[in-house]
Structure 1
Amino acid sequence: MDPFLGTEALAAGSLTRYRLKTRFELVHRNVYALNREQLTPVQKARAAWLWSGRRGTLVGLSAAAVLGSRWIDARLPAELNQRSQHKTPGIVLRADTLGPDEIVTARGMPVTSPARTAFDLGRRRGLTLAVIRMDALMRTTGATTSDIATLLTRHKGARGLVQLRRALELVDPASESPQESRTRLLLVKAGLPPERSQIDVFDRDGYHVGRVDMGWETWKVGVEYEGEQHWTNPEQYAHDIDRQAALEAEGWRIIRVSAEILRDRPTTIVSRVWLALRAAGAPVQPPNLNL
C-alpha cells in the first residue's frame, strides 16, 4: 500500500482515527504507511512528495526509482528538490535550478527527466557507483550520452562535471546488473576494456548458443558475472555447464566471475582475462594490476 495523507483519508471516510493510529505508521508529518512495512525507494519518494504538499520535484535516486531504475538501496533517504528551510528525517532536500524540460511526470509525480537524473547521479562522488547508477537508469529509460552531455553545456558551473565527463565515457546501458558494471569497470581500469556487452553467440547453423555478458567477439573471449543463483540452483548450474560447453564448442574462452572473486581477488579476474586474450592471439599489453 502506498503512503497517503492522513487528513485526506479521514476526510474521505476511508479510515477512522483509531484505525489510522493502530494500523499505520507516521512516516512524515501527516504522511502514513502500513505498520512495519519496509518502504521501497518508490514509496519513500511518494511519501516525501506528499510531505512537500505535492509541490516538490523528486530528484536523484528518488527520481531514478520512480522512472523505473533498479538496484536502488531501500535504506537510503528520499531526495526532493524544494527550497525549504523545514527539514525532516528521511528526506534530503536540494535546491537545484531545473529547466522546464528537465522535469517530467512519472507515476503521477514530478520528477527530473532521465537525462537530468543521470546528470545529477553522475556528478556524485565515487566514479564507480556513479557509473553503476547511470548504467541502470539509462538501460531502463533509454536516455543517451548525448542527452546527458547537452546538460553539461547548460550547467557549466555545476559541481562534479569532471567526474561526469569521465562517467559518460564509461557508461554502458547494456549492463544488466551492478556487478556486471563493476566487472566491466575493473577491466577498463586494468587496461583491458571489453569490446562490447551482451554478445549473442550463434553456431554455424544459426542456432542461438547463448549471450555473453561482455567480451571480445574478435577473439572469442568472454567474461560472465554469475550471481548466487548460478552456484546454488541445481537446474541453473546444470544449464550453465551445458551452455559453457556449447560456447567452447564454438571456440569461445569464458572467464567466470563470482562475487567473492570480484570483491577479494580482482587481479585474478584481470590475469585470467589477459591470459585468455593472449592465448586467442590478441595483441594486448600486460595489464595494470594496481587495482
Structure 2
Amino acid sequence: MPFLGSEALAAGAVNRYQLNTRHDMLHRDVFVPSGAVLTPVDKAVAAWLWSGRRGVVAGLSAAALHGSLWIDANLPAELNQPSRHRTTGIILHSDHLAEDDVCALDGIRVTTPARTAFDLGRQRGLVTAVIRVDALLQAGELKLPDVQTLLDSHRGARGVVQLRRVLDLADYGAESPQETRLRLLLTFAGMRPSHTQIEVFDEYDQFVGRLDMGWPEWKVGVQYDGKQHWDDPVQRARDIDQGVAYAELGWRIVRVGADLMRYREATVIGRTRAALQASGGPF
C-alpha cells in the first residue's frame, strides 16, 4: 500500500493533484491512500521506503514481515539504520548487523527470524519478550537453536541475561498472547506444562480435541477460552460436549477465561494444582 510519491509521479500513476488530495503523507515522500488503516506490515514497508530502500527492517516490524501476529498496530515502525535524520513514527536502531543477520523478503532487507528474536528477547519486560518470541515461533521460520547461536557469539550484549531466560521459557505451541501468559503463570508457580497443543483421541482413535497445554502423563489439561467460547452459542455447546468427552476419557480440564486470568490468578493456580494432585501429579 505505501509508495513513494516521486516514483508514482514519474511513472504517471498519479498527478500532483491526485497525490495531494487523495493520499496522506506518512513520511517524507511516502504516501498511502487517504484514510487507510495501516497494519504493522504497512508501517514496516513505509519505513523502508523512507530510508531510500537502504535501511534494514528490524524489531517488531521485522517480526511483522516474518508473519508474527498480535502486534499492536499503534506502535511505530522499527528500522536499523545509523542516521542523523529522524522522523515521526519510526524508531531507528544503530546496531551492527553481520551479513547473516539480514535476509530479503520481497526485496526488502529485514533481520532474520533468529536476529529478530535476539533483539526482541532482550527488550525490557520478560513476559512481553516471551510473548513476542512465541509469536515468531508460531509464524514458523524461527528455530530456538539459531537464537542460542547468536547469544553465544554476543555474550556481552545488553539484555543477554534476560534473553537466556526467554529462550528457556519460549514454546513453539503458543497460539495467542493469552496462552503464553497462562503458560508463564503456571510456570512461575512451579507447574510448567510438559506439553502444549495436546491432541486427544478416544479409544477408537477418533479425534476429540486439542488442549492448549497440560500434562498428558497425568491427563490434566489447561484451556484458555477466548471471547468466542463464551459469546458464540454454537462454540459454547461444542465446548460442553467436548468437556464431557474429555471427562469420559479420564482427563481433568481447567478452563480459564479473560476475567479469571486478569483478576484471579491465584484461583487459576489453585485449580490447576488441585487437578494435578487429584491425578497423582508431583505438584
When normalised by structure 2's length, the TM-score is 0.99
5 Å-filtered alignment, 1:196-275, equals 196-275=195-274
Greater CA deviation, 141-150 or 78-87?
141-150
Displacement after TM superposition at 1:19 (Å): 0.9
Alignment correspondent of 2:113: 114
* Letter of the structure 2 residue corresponding to residue 184 of structure 1: R
Instruction: After superposition, give the CA deviation of every residue in 1:11-52 in whole Å (9 maximum; x if it has no partner).
Output: 100101111111100100000011121210000000000000
Task: Measure, in 2, the Cα distance between the counterparts of 1:99 and 1:138.
Answer: 22
Runs of 4+ that moved beyond 4 A:
none
Displacement after TM superposition at 1:138 (Å): 1.4
Alignment correspondent of 1:288: none
The SS at the match of 1:260 is helix
Instruction: After superposition, give the CA deviation of every residue in 1:221-254 in whole Å (9 maximum; x if it has no partner).
Output: 1000011011001111111111111111111111
The SS at the match of 2:54 is coil
Displacement after TM superposition at 1:157 (Å): 2.0
Displacement after TM superposition at 1:109 (Å): 0.5
Displacement after TM superposition at 1:140 (Å): 1.0
Displacement after TM superposition at 1:148 (Å): 0.3
5 Å-filtered alignment, 1:6-17, equals 6-17=5-16
Alignment correspondent of 2:158: 159
Task: Measure, in 2, the Cα distance between the counterparts of 1:17 and 1:70.
Answer: 36
Contact in 2 for aligned 1:200/1:210 (Cα 8 Å): yes
Q: What number of residue pairs does the alignment pair up? A: 283
Alignment correspondent of 1:173: 172
Alignment correspondent of 1:33: 32
Task: Measure, in 1, the Cα distance between the counterparts of 2:144 and 2:44.
Answer: 26
Task: Measure, in 1, the Cα distance between the counterparts of 2:21 and 2:60.
Answer: 31
Task: Measure, in 2, the Cα distance between the counterparts of 1:223 and 1:236.
Answer: 18
Q: Which structure 1 residue ranges, 5 or more long, are not aligned? A: 285-291
5 Å-filtered alignment, 1:91-106, equals 91-106=90-105
Task: Measure, in 1, the Cα distance between the counterparts of 2:151 and 2:10.
Answer: 46
Task: Measure, in 2, the Cα distance between the counterparts of 1:173 and 1:216.
Answer: 16
Task: Measure, in 2, the Cα distance between the counterparts of 1:249 and 1:71.
Answer: 35
Contact in 2 for aligned 1:196/1:215 (Cα 8 Å): yes
C-alpha RMSD of matched pairs (Å): 0.8
Alignment correspondent of 1:287: none
Contact in 2 for aligned 1:66/1:107 (Cα 8 Å): no
* Letter of the structure 1 residue corresponding to residue 149 of structure 2: T
C-alpha distance 107-263 of structure 1, shift in aligned 2 (>3 A): farther
Q: Which structure 2 residue ranges, 5 or more long, are not aligned? A: none
Identity percentage over the alignment?
Answer: 57
5 Å-filtered alignment, 1:27-176, equals 27-176=26-175
Task: Measure, in 2, the Cα distance between the counterparts of 1:146 and 1:54.
Answer: 31
Instruction: After superposition, give the CA deviation of every residue in 1:166-190 in whole Å (9 maximum; x if it has no partner).
Output: 0010000111110000000000001
